[in-house]
Every structure is written in C-alpha cells, then in structure tokens.
C-alpha cells in the first residue's frame, strides 16, 4: 500500500465544506463503536471537534512535505501521551475516520480512495506511535508544576511563574499545554515566555478570554502554591541557529510571550545582534509588560522596544495595527523576523513583511498552518501542534455538563483520551 497524496487531498477537499457535520459524525461513530472512549473526552466537545479537523487538515495538506509532516506528527504523538493514549486507540480512531470519509464522499468513494486513505492513516498513526514510544524512554507524559509567582498585570492578564517537579526540556519560542485542577481533562496551549533557565522555572502570559475555562482559571483563580499540569514542549518557532542577522520581533498582545523568550535566548548566547521589538496592544493599559521590557532595553542597548497602540487615539507613541506600522519604522529587508499574536495579526504581518522585501524563509511564526494557508501568501511552512493559547475569537466554551466538583487545587491525574 503506497501513499497517494493527490487522491487524499482531492477527496478531502470534497469533505472540507462539511467539516462540522463530518466531525460530529466521526465522534458519534467513534463513541458508538467504542463507548468507553467517551469518558476520556471533555464534557463539551465543540472545541474538540474543531481540533480534529484542524489536525486532519494540517496532515492532509502536508502530505507532500515529508519533513514538515513527520515533525508535526511526532509532536502530536508525543503530546498524546499525556492523555494516556494506547496503540489500540489508533485503530478505533482509524476505523471511525474511514467510515466518516466514506459517508461524506458518497459516490466519490471507491477502492482507490479507500486504499489511499488507509495508507495515509496507517503512515500517520505509525509516526505518532513511534514518536510516543521513543519519548516514553526519556520523558514523563506530563509534568506537575507549582505556581511560584502570580502577578495580575491588568484585570484580564496575569504573568505566572511555575516550577515543574522535574526538568521540562524546551527551546525558546515553544509552548506547552496546561491543565488546571478546576477543569480536569481540559488542556490549553500557552507559550513559554522565558528562555530555558538553570532553575527550570517557566513563565506564562495569560489573558482571560470571555468564557475561557483555563485562561479564566489561571488569571482569576490561581495562587502561589497551587499546582497545574503541563504537557511536553511543542512548536517549531525558534531562533535560527545559522543566522547572525539583526532581528525584528512583532508581537500582538500576549503573543509577546514567545518573542520575549527568543530575545532572552539571544541575550544568553551573548549575541550582539540588534533587536527591534514592536509590541502591539489595543490600549496603553494593555501594554502589560512594558516596565519589564523597558528594564531589558536599558540593560541591553542593542534592544529597542517600540510600543504600538491600536485603539487609543490620544496615545502619545506609535498608533495603528502592529502589522500596518512596520513600513513606517525602517527598512527590515535584511532582518530575520519573528511574529506572534492573534492568527489574523500573524497573517497580516507576514504578508506585510513580504511586501516590505523580507524573504519568506526569514519570517518565523508558529500559527496554525491550516489557518494561515488560506490567508497568508508567504507562509514559510511552519506548523505546530495546535493553536497557541486561545484566540479571543475562539474562547473556551462554557461547560455543557455539570461543573466539576474539584474546586480545590489538587492536581488531577490526566485522563486517558484517544488521538485528536
């Protein structure tokens, strides 16, 4: 059985307009055939359904890029260890997936399509399980971390520092998923806001989004001494080790977090590259980290911080959307660029940098491949394992089931969940 990306892509394109119904059918089928699996998922499935198709979309459209695909699936396989996924779950998921594709393709389903999808799923599941097995030799499936600092910088934004019980390896620019005891089985990704340190501490910038389960819990209901669970480090945005070019970092809101980690990384490597950090926020008050950034700027003279405010007309500094102001500031064509923030901001900024003469392979970001594929002509092909933090456009839905009784902050063990 050999991979046939063309057939998989063509047939998937027929299903894409019906993703919502197809995803509901997939989970209905999965739980009908393997009822015990339902208990392993969060009570509200809305976000989960969406995630399944985002992951599937990423896999399908990456079938022609073996390196990117292998990197994505390896991360996904490693990350699924935290749910307690076993090899046999992959067969159940594969069966439900094929049944879903068959149903939604209707007359377009035939033996050739079946073979192409079977080959693709077998290869993908194989990569995920191999990566999970290899990871099990060297890493725990999750880390328990104690909150050692919690600063409420604005009513909505907190900066948290946590100490994992054992070392959690990562590189600057990556993110981890976080689970709080308030919402067992609900994991959300957050970028790590500092470069790796000897004491192993990790910092997160969290904005409580309306209706957000984990973000609200982290900002409003978490204190020093509480514990959270962390998944393994994920994401492909990182400092280009072969470059000594000057650096432009463009941050939208809490997208500052991974860029601060990258800047710290440059500092710790004693590289004397000039860095411009253009940091966008809606209002002056939303520039929640400006004091720290000014301190960093005064310590490292080759760092320049440029705050940009988009929704406060009497702000005395640079005004506008962060993507729009770049052309007014200087020529960036000889810079490496790192971009993080809301998906729309990343798409706008990457596209703007292309028009300003920055080659696509020098523009680094970690937004969802599938989302940017539509809107961003200069996507350099970075893909990650999921959305970073939650976008305001996609708050965590409120629970549809009963509110969990575990209001105390004893960390629950992760519950098994099959592959997304």
Among 260, 390, 416, 417, contact with ligand NAI (rule: CB under 6 A): 390
Q: Does position 280 bind ligand NAI by CB under 6 A?
A: yes
- Cβ atoms of 218 and 204 within 8 Å: the answer is yes
Where do the DSSP E strands lie in 34-155? 143-152
Distance CA 234, CA 77 (A): 11
Query: Any residues with CB less than 8 A from the CB of 126 and at least 6 apart, and which?
Result: none
Among 191, 222, 227, 379, contact with ligand NAI (rule: CB under 6 A): 191
Q: Does position 163 bind ligand NAI by CB under 6 A?
A: no
Among 340, 353, 370, 411, contact with ligand NAI (rule: CB under 6 A): 340
| Residue 234 DSSP SS3 | strand
Q: Does position 391 bind ligand NAI by CB under 6 A?
A: yes
Q: Does position 336 bind ligand NAI by CB under 6 A?
A: no
Among 79, 289, 366, 371, contact with ligand NAI (rule: CB under 6 A): 366
Q: Does position 103 bind ligand NAI by CB under 6 A?
A: no
Distance CA 314, CA 283 (A): 10
| Residue 190 DSSP SS3 | strand
Residue 2 CB-half CA count within 13 A: 2
Among 151, 392, 403, 413, contact with ligand NAI (rule: CB under 6 A): 392
Cβ neighbours, 10 Å, residue 215? 27
Among 388, 411, 419, 420, contact with ligand NAI (rule: CB under 6 A): 388
Spell out, one character per residue from 31 to 70, where the chain touches ligand NAI: x when CB under 6 A holds, - when not: ----------------------------------------
Q: How far apart are the first and last CA of the chain?
A: 24
**CB 191 to ligand NAI: min, Å:** 4
DSSP label at 414? Answer: P
Q: Does position 323 bind ligand NAI by CB under 6 A?
A: yes
Distance CA 253, CA 281 (A): 5
| Rg of the chain over all Cα atoms, to the nearest angstrom | 22
Among 310, 326, 338, 376, contact with ligand NAI (rule: CB under 6 A): 310
Q: Does position 342 bind ligand NAI by CB under 6 A?
A: yes
Q: Which residue is nearest to ligand NAI (CB)?
A: 253
Q: Does position 344 bind ligand NAI by CB under 6 A?
A: yes
Structure tokens of 320? 């506008």
Structure tokens of 159? 């900066």
Spell out, one character per residue from 215 to 254, where the chain touches ligand NAI: x when CB under 6 A holds, - when not: -------------------------------------xxx
Distance CA 310, CA 322 (A): 8
Q: Does position 207 bind ligand NAI by CB under 6 A?
A: yes
Q: Which residues pair with 177 in a beta bridge?
A: 189
Binding site for ligand NAI (CB under 6 A): 191, 207, 252-255, 257-258, 280-282, 310, 321-323, 340-342, 344-345, 348, 366-367, 388-392
């Amino acid at each position: 059985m050999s991979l046939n990306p063309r057939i998989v892509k063509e047939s998937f394109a027929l299903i894409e307009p019906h993703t919502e119904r197809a995803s509901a059918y997939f989970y209905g089928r999965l739980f009908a055939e393997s009822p015990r699996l339902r208990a392993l998922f969060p009570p509200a499935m809305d976000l989960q359904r969406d995630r399944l198709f985002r992951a599937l979309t990423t896999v399908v459209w990456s079938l022609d890029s073996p390196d990117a695909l292998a990197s994505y699936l390896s991360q996904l396989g490693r990350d699924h260890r935290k749910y307690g996924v076993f090899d046999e779950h992959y067969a159940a998921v594969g069966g439900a997936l094929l049944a879903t594709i068959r149903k939604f393709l209707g007359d377009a389903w035939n033996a050739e399509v079946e073979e192409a999808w079977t080959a693709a799923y077998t290869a993908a599941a194989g990569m995920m399980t191999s990566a999970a097995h290899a990871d099990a030799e060297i890493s725990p499936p999750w880390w328990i971390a104690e909150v050692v600092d919690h600063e409420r910088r604005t009513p909505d934004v907190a900066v948290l520092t946590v100490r994992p019980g054992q070392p959690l390896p990562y590189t600057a620019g990556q993110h981890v998923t976080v689970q709080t005891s308030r919402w067992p089985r609900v994991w959300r990704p957050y970028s790590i806001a500092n470069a790796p340190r000897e004491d192993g501490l990790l910092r997160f910038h969290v904005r409580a989004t309306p209706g957000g389960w984990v973000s609200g819990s982290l900002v409003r209901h978490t204190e020093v001494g509480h514990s959270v669970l962390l998944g393994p480090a994920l994401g492909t945005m990182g400092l280009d080790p072969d470059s000594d070019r000057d650096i432009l970092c463009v941050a939208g809101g809490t997208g500052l977090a991974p860029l601060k980690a990258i800047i710290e990384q440059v500092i710790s490597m004693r590289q004397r590259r000039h860095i411009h950090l253009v940091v966008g926020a809606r209002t002056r008050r939303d520039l929640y980290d400006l004091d720290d950034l000014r301190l960093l700027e005064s310590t490292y003279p080759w760092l320049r911080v440029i705050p940009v405010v988009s929704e406060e007309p009497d702000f005395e500094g640079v005004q506008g959307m962060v993507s729009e102001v770049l052309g007014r500031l200087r020529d960036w064509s000889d810079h490496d660029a790192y971009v993080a923030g809301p998906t729309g901001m990343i798409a706008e900024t990457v596209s703007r940098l292309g028009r300003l003469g920055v080659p696509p392979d020098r523009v680094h970001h970690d937004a969802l491949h599938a989302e940017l594929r539509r809107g961003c002509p200069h996507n350099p092909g970075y893909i990650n394992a999921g959305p970073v933090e939650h976008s305001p456009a996609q708050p965590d839905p409120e629970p549809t089931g009963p509110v969990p009784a575990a209001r105390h902050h004893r960390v629950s063990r992760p519950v098994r969940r099959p592959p997304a």
